[in-house]
């Protein structure tokens, strides 16, 4: 008798958002912008901002504890922790190590993964392979960023776009075909010059000059990123559907990276998917970078947008450039 294939099923979801809200009206007070201008160009109304004593690990820990409590899981049952982030607490130790200690996951190992806004999907594919190998039974995959820590709040072209937050999923084995069906992930290093954080690494270590020249803030060429994002997310989404003999009509829910409402709408239009099937929460949270997809998955469950057996298509685009798409057969 043939042994059933093991797939990595999402069996629980969690999220955490800082309490502080920064609305467009708040931004009007110190930026040359307006609520109307931001809404029209981005779809964003408000975003969450971490408090002074909240780092990325704190956001992650809050999301994880809610998930573990709801599922009644002992932290010692966790085998691995993968954290997608570009705003770790520090260069080292990893955010995963900090989380492992704080939640008491004494039997887990883990690491951080850096792929900007695509980070969670890259981490999800990694965790999926761990589960599918048969070696691991419970893997936490987290996407979280404290973007407020790397934003220049005098630059209206970037600071209006981002927020802070964390989302987490628990992966467990399934022998019934639920979970991660397939992923198509790509990088294009030629796009690195359009979206980056210049200083703080070995190429340009932190100095008085790098701080003075504001090289520790995010830099983005918005129009170029917009064009590449739509093209990249459309191509990988189309490819993964074709590779699995699934049509866009078979998809129950489409969860794109929440970078800009116009990017989302343009990608959905190219895919010819019904707007009612597209999850959009950028109005409430802005772009939480690695957090957008797991937060979206949590919202989809809470709002009962998905049921067991539904096909969910997820797509992302981020600095690097990085981009990808994952097909999920929902099993929660």
Question: What residues act catalytically?
Answer: 117, 257, 287
d(CA 323, CA 24): 29
d(CA 196, CA 321): 10
Terminal CA-to-CA distance of the chain, rounded, Å? 27
Give the ranges where 177-318 is alpha helix by DSSP (H): 208-212, 222-243, 261-271, 282-285, 292-302
Query: Sign (positive/negative) of CA torsion 76, 309, 240, 229?
Result: negative
Where is 142: in which H helix or E strand? strand 139-146
Where is 158: in which H helix or E strand? helix 156-159
Name, in order, each residue with C-beta under 8 angstroms of 327's C-beta and a sequence gap of 6 or more: 180, 181, 182, 183, 240, 241, 244, 246, 311, 312, 313, 314
d(CA 245, CA 311): 12
Instruction: Judge whether 111 and 314 are in contact, CB under 8 Å.
Output: no
How buried is residue 290: exposed, middle or buried, by Cβ count under 10 Å (0-12/13-18/19+)? buried
């Amino acid at each position: 008798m043939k042994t059933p294939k093991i797939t990595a099923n999402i069996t629980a979801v969690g999220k955490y958002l800082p309490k502080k809200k920064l609305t467009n009206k708040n931004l009007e007070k110190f930026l040359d912008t307006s609520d109307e201008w931001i809404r029209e160009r981005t779809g964003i109304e408000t975003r969450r901002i971490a408090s002074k004593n909240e780092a990325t690990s704190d956001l992650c820990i809050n999301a994880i504890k809610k998930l573990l409590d709801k599922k009644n899981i002992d932290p010692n049952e966790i085998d691995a922790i993968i954290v997608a982030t570009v705003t770790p607490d520090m260069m080292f130790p990893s955010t995963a190590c900090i989380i492992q200690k704080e939640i008491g996951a004494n039997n887990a190992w883990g690491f951080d993964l850096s792929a900007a806004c695509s980070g969670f999907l890259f981490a999800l594919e990694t965790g999926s392979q761990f589960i599918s190998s048969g070696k691991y039974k419970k893997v936490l995959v987290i996407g979280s960023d404290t973007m407020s820590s790397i934003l220049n709040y005098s630059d209206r072209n970037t600071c209006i776009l981002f927020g802070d937050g964390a989302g987490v999923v628990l992966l467990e084995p399934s022998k019934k075909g639920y979970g991660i069906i397939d992923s198509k992930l790509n990088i294009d290093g030629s796009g690195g010059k359009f979206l980056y954080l210049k200083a703080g690494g070995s190429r340009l270590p932190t100095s008085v000059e790098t701080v003075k020249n504001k090289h520790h803030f995010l830099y983005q060429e918005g129009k170029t990123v917009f064009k590449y994002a739509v093209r990249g997310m459309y191509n990988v989404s189309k490819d993964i559907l074709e590779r699995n003999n699934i049509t866009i009509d078979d998809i129950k829910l489409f969860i794109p990276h929440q970078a800009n409402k116009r990017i989302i709408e343009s990608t959905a239009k190219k895919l010819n998917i019904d707007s009612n099937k597209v999850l959009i929460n950028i109005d409430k949270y802005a772009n939480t970078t690695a957090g957008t997809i797991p937060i979206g998955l949590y919202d989809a469950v809470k709002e009962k947008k998905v049921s067991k057996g539904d096909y969910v298509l997820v797509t992302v685009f981020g600095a690097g450039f990085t981009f990808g798409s994952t097909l999920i057969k929902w099993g929660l």
